[in-house]
Amino acid sequence: MSNSQANILIVEDEPSIADNVKFALQLDGFDCQHFLLAEEGLNQLKEGCFDLAIIDVGLPDYNGFELCKKIRQFSNIPIIFLTARSDEIDRILGLELGADDYVTKPFSPRELSTRVKTILRRVSPSVEKTAAPSKSKTSPLQLDTKRACIFYHQEQLVLTRIEFLLLSTLLQSPEQVFSREQLMTAAWENPEHSLDRAVDTHIKTLRAKLKLVHPDQLIYTHRGLGYSLRFGQ
Ligand code: CA
């Protein structure tokens, strides 16, 4: 993927920092859009097509952590935090936020751009591989590799991070029965701390979301074995 295809969202309330970041990213061929407020960034992310978000922790309306949590309710976009305080790093690295990386201020914008490239390289090839089978004509599900989102009958599904990972795993190989263990390994960062029941719970919410778009049954339960994805017979 060439950088020029990637679109980066920046939420930073200090214009001079934002300008430096934008300059470095543009030099590397990225498209960037900058917003001063968390709320603006959130609205743009809901509407626009972004590949990665760079978010300052200290923002005037609400902080970067809250913004991240709101984003995670509908998107799996990679997130890099900008922070001025070392005591924020523990929270950034905490699993509940699902952030991909952070840089501490003051930082080198070129270094930040390098991190962006690394994350995008890590994210897109693996997702592209899993997307191939879903492109068959019979699949009503389409994985958008760049935005890390899934469309069902052309409608974008609003999925949590775990639901997204579960569905994209099933989508890798329609008809294959995946055990709960395999699904947990794919979707959880610490599968050993999760219960089989957790998979069932997320499958249940996933089914409900799919049903809102189309009544067909897609996810099948195989008693004692696991789950599989099947498209109309
Ligand atoms: Ca700030």
Confidence of residue 1 (pLDDT cuts 50, 70, 90): very low
Q: What separation in Å is there between the alpha carbon of 74 and the centre of ligand 1?
A: 24
Mean pLDDT over the full length of the chain: 84
Same domain for 99 and 79: yes
Same domain for 102 and 159: no
Dihedral, CA of residue 125, residue 127, residue 129 and residue 132, to nearest 10 = -130
pLDDT at 223 over 90: no
Same domain for 219 and 147: yes
Boundary of a domain, candidates 77, 108, 124: 124
**Where residue 211 sits, what CATH number does that domain have?**
1.10.10.10
Q: What separation in Å is there between the alpha carbon of 65 and the centre of ligand 1?
A: 12
Same domain for 96 and 11: yes
Q: What separation in Å is there between the alpha carbon of 64 and the centre of ligand 1?
A: 9
Domain count for the chain, please give it: 2
Mean pLDDT of 91-110: 80
Identify the H or E element spanning 221: strand 219-222
- Cα–Cα distance measured from residue 164 to residue 162, given in angstroms and rounded to the nearest whole number: 5
Confidence of residue 224 (pLDDT cuts 50, 70, 90): confident
**15 or 159, which is more confident?**
15
Same domain for 222 and 116: no
**Where residue 66 sits, what CATH number does that domain have?**
3.40.50.2300
Q: What are phi and psi of 152, to 5 degrees?
A: -125, 120
Q: What separation in Å is there between the alpha carbon of 59 and the centre of ligand 1?
A: 5
| pLDDT for 23 | 92
Q: Show the domain range for 154.
A: 129-229
Q: What separation in Å is there between the alpha carbon of 73 and the centre of ligand 1?
A: 23
Same domain for 115 and 161: no
Residue 203, SS3 per DSSP: helix
Q: What separation in Å is there between the alpha carbon of 17 and the centre of ligand 1?
A: 9
| pLDDT for 125 | 54
Identify the H or E element spanning 34: strand 31-35
Boundary of a domain, candidates 124, 143, 164: 124
| pLDDT for 124 | 66
Find out whether 79 and 98 touch, Cβ atoms under 8 Å.
yes
Residue 60, SS3 per DSSP: coil
Boundary of a domain, candidates 124, 155, 182: 124
